[in-house]
């Protein structure tokens, strides 16, 4: 039986937004300040801060204060939850395909 972690729904919902997903793509290259994250989006800084808060609350990113600058970085521990969920489904479906292949092989004999 596959396990369900309720934090997963929060994380997936946070990543479902195109702006937040694009922010995660940018953060996957390197940590950035909130201002740097805002550059390509044409959104107000307040709107970007709200997106950052959603990502942080979901466990996708961590923020830290460096002087007057808030820096954002991907939180590997938070993203591990998503990786585990995907891996569990991959193993499940691989087993299903293996069973189907064995069944079809047996039918051909």
Q: How confident is the model at residue 2 (pLDDT cuts 50, 70, 90)?
A: low
Distances (CA, A) of 82 to 4, 13, 58, 92: 11, 12, 11, 15
Residue predicted with more confidence, 15 or 86? 15
Average pLDDT of the chain is 90
Q: How confident is the model at residue 46 (pLDDT cuts 50, 70, 90)?
A: very high
**pLDDT at site 1:** 46
pLDDT tens digits, one per residue of 51-95: 999 999 999 999 999 899 999 999 999 888 888 888 887 887 887
Distances (CA, A) of 24 to 16, 86, 95, 101: 11, 18, 31, 38
Q: Please report, rounded to a whole number, the percentage of residues in the chain having pLDDT higher than 90.
A: 61
Domains in the chain with CATH codes: 7-108 (1.10.10.10)
């Amino acid at each position: 039986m596959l396990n369900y972690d309720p934090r997963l729904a929060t994380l997936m919902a946070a990543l479902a937004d195109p702006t937040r997903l694009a922010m995660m793509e940018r953060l996957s290259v390197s940590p950035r300040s909130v201002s740097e994250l805002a550059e390509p989006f044409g959104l107000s800084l307040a709107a970007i801060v709200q997106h950052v808060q959603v990502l942080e609350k979901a466990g996708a990113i961590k923020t830290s204060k460096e002087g007057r600058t808030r820096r954002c970085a991907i939180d590997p521990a938070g993203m591990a939850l998503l990786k585990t969920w995907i891996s569990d489904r991959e193993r499940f479906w691989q087993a299903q395909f293996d069973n189907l292949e064995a069944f079809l092989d047996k039918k051909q004999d």
